[in-house]
């Protein structure tokens, strides 16, 4: 593609979309003829000035959300995107509670061993 900005968007898109005929490959990593066709479709739509959202929206309307490697940011997927942060918060809370408990216990002890290993 001639325009470097469009080329950059193109590269991102073909890595974020699934090859619909393959097991688990992106459009970028597929030899299938339909993948080549969809890549060409994306190039055409980019050259026609469509936004990434419109391009993805068109393909999702034809092939369902399954074609997206990046799940949509929607309320329906909120649990998926929120999960990592949720787990992290729980983990940190657990860590803090354990540490508090142990710090309270440490003052009653002698300090026999103060090495690294």
Partner 1 sequence: MNPRFLVPLGAFAALVVVLAVGINHSHEVGVLKSPLVGHQIPDWELPVLTDPTKSLGSRDLKGQWYVLNYWGAWCYSCRVEHPTLLQAQREGRVQIIGVDWVADNPDENAAALEMLSRQGNPYRQVVIDRDGRTAIDLGIAQAPESLLVNPQGVIVYKEPGVITPEIWRREFLARLPPQSAVPVANAGGS
Partner 2 sequence: MLPELGHFALVLALVLAALQAFFGIVGPALGRDRWAAATTSAVAGQFVMVATAVGILVYAFVNFDFSVLYVAENSNSALPLMYRIAALWGAHEGSLLLWIFLLAVWTLAVAIASRNLPERFAARVLGVLGVLSFGFLLFTLATSDPFRRLIPAAADGRDLNPLLQDPGLAVHPPVLYTGYVGLAVAFSFACAAMLEGRMDPDWARWTRPWTTAAWAFLTCGIALGSWWSYYTLGWGGYWEWDPVENASFMPWLVATALIHSLAVTEKRGLFKSWTLLLAILAFSLSLLGTFLVRSGVLVSVHSFAADPSRGRFILAFLGLVIGGALTLYAWRAPLLKSNAGFDLLSRESFLLFNNILLVVAAATVLGGTLAPLIADTFGQSSLSVGPPYFRPTFLLAVIPLLLLLSVGVHANWKRGHLEAAVRPLLVTLVVAGLLGAAVVFGAYGGRHALAIIGFGIGSWIILSSLLDPVDRLRRHLSLSRAVLGMTLAHIGLAVAVIALTGVESYTSESDIALAAGASAQVGGYDFKLIGTQPIEGANYNAIRATVIVTRDGQPITTLYPESRTFWVQQQTRKVAGIYNRHGTDLFIALGDDLGAGRWSFRAQIRPLITLLWLGPLFMALGGALALSDRRYRMARAAARAAPPGARGEAY
Which residues, in sequence order, are CB contacts of 70 under 8 Å at separation 6+? 16
34 binds partner 2 (CB under 8 A): no
Among 53, 66, 75, 104, binds partner 1 (CB under 8 A): 66
111 binds, among partner 2, partner 1, none (CB under 5 to 8 A by kind): partner 2
Shortest reach from residue 65's CB to partner 1, in Å: 8
Contact flags string 36-55 toward partner 2, x per CB under 8 A: --------------------
Is 11:28 a contact under the CB 8 Å cutoff?
A: yes
CB 115 to partner 1: min, Å: 33
Q: Is the Cβ of residue 78 or residue 94 nearer to partner 1 in the bound state?
A: 94
Distance CA 58, CA 42 (A): 10
Closest CA to 67 of 30, 107, 105: 30
- Let me know if 9 is exposed, middle or buried by CB neighbors in 10 A (0-12, 13-18, 19+): middle
62 binds, among partner 1, partner 2, none (CB under 5 to 8 A by kind): partner 1
């Amino acid at each position: 593609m001639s325009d470097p900005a469009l080329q950059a968007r193109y590269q991102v898109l073909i890595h974020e979309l699934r090859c619909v005929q393959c097991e688990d490959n992106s459009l970028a990593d597929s030899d299938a003829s339909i993948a080549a066709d969809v890549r060409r479709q994306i190039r055409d739509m980019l050259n026609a000035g469509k936004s990434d959202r419109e391009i993805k929206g068109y393909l999702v309307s034809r092939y369902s959300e399954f074609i997206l490697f990046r799940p949509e940011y929607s309320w329906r997927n909120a649990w998926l995107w929120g999960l990592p942060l949720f787990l992290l918060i729980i983990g940190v809370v657990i860590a803090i509670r354990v540490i508090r408990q142990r710090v309270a216990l440490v003052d009653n002890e002698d300090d026999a061993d103060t090495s690294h290993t």
